[in-house]
Structure 1
Amino acid sequence: MAIEGKNKTVLQTVGVVVFMGAMAWASVPLYDWFCRVTGYGGATGVAEATTGEVLDRTIKVRFDASLERGMPWEFKPMQTEMEIRIGEEGLAFYEAYNPTDRPIAGSASYNVAPFGAGGYFSKIQCFCFEEQVLMPGERMQMPVSFFVDPDIINDSDAKHSKHITLSYTFYEIDLPENVQAALETNSDADASLN
């Protein structure tokens, strides 16, 4: 009986460890999905174009970049701040560099601070809409085009914002199947030449 009880405890402990590991692995994509669906955490909007209305009032947009632990890329904004008129389209660039000797795929999660301004910050085009793959030694400049919706001035909390910070965090993902297949084909071709 005592051995059966110990086995049950060991299995329960292993189950908890596996579950916690799976949750840690999935935390960044799940948080990103949660923010996009609920708007919590300053998730931004997505638009095809500006509203056409541009106000005389300006707002500063700050840019921030970070990497999930273990992500080997280098990642930074090309500018730290810009001032734009509310409603005007802005264009900023981030740079990513893969210093390793292997291809690495990444996906970016994002948020906006202050949280109340997130609903008024809209991205028209963004590198974060797609997975990014960098080959060994590759450096890439990635654009994000955006605007601050003029409706921000009608929000009792957000209208007092003097600046908005757009933050991205890149995390490593599995290589897309088409990239993996191309690498294997190239490897096979190189092997047949030797």
Structure 2
Amino acid sequence: MDGLSRRNRKVAIACAGTFAFMVGAAYAAVPLYDLFCRVTGFGGTTQVAEQESEVVINRMITVRFDGNVSGKLSWDFKPAERSVTLKMGETAQLPYIAVNNGANRTVGTSTFNVTPVSAGAYFNKLDCFCFTEQPLEPGETVEMPVVFFVDPEMDKDPELKHVKEITLSYTFFPVEQPEQPVAARTVTSVTETNL
């Protein structure tokens, strides 16, 4: 009986350890997947660059722009231009325009992707409005620029050798609980302290 309870205890410890590992893996999965997508461009995830490309080659690439809005957000959202053709490695800037057609202040945030998805590894953004909260007052119009270049290394990728167009697509969604502005948090903290 003593040997049986020892085995049961080992099994229970092994099960608890496996459970703890699985919970830890679940929490780590999202940031690791995000890192994987950003490094590889998987799923059309673009790259974030800190400086312009030092190399510009003669191969031309056309970048098409697409703007979408969730049905729950009363905005118009579109690129200022539908496409631009540039040399690989050349930096370009294009604004997207958003208009709040609703009667109330709303806040939106956008997601993005690139097609073909394998081109995401070569699409580098220097500045972008994605994943940041954008508040708009009723009737307000804003321009949101995206600054980017297509890495000349794409020219060496046999899978993308004949690709002449890339599409950058953004979709805006409503933010149900916008982040409280820093100034408002500071005032609230001071007020609470004085109470």
Name the count of aligned residue pairs.
153
Q: CA deviation at 1:129?
A: 4.7
Contact 2:42 2:121 in 1 (8 A): no
Structure 2, gaps ≥5 residues long: 1-29, 189-195
Q: CA deviation at 1:181?
A: 4.6
Q: What residue in structure 1 maps to residue 90 of structure 2?
A: 88
Task: Report the secondary structure of 1:147's partner residue.
Answer: strand
Q: What is the letter of the counterpart of residue 122 of structure 2?
A: Y
Between the two proteins, what is the percent identity of the paired residues?
42
Contact 2:102 2:138 in 1 (8 A): yes
Structure 1, gaps ≥5 residues long: 1-30, 186-194
Q: What residue in structure 1 maps to residue 52 of structure 2?
A: 50
| Cα distance change, pair 36–126 in 1 and its aligned pair in 2 (3 A) | farther
Q: CA deviation at 1:131?
A: 1.5
Q: What residue in structure 2 maps to residue 111 of structure 1?
A: 113
- Please, which of 39, 42, 48 is the counterpart of residue 40 of structure 1? 42
Task: Name the larger-Rg structure.
Answer: 2
Q: CA deviation at 1:175?
A: 2.3
Q: What residue in structure 1 maps to residue 157 of structure 2?
A: 155
- Please, which of 168, 175, 179 is the counterpart of residue 176 of structure 1? 179
Structure 2 CA distance for aligned equivalents of residues 99 and 34 of structure 1: 36
Structure 2 length normalisation: TM-score? 0.72
| Cα distance change, pair 170–179 in 1 and its aligned pair in 2 (3 A) | farther
What root-mean-square deviation, in Å, do the aligned CA atoms of Structure 1 and Structure 2 show? 2.4
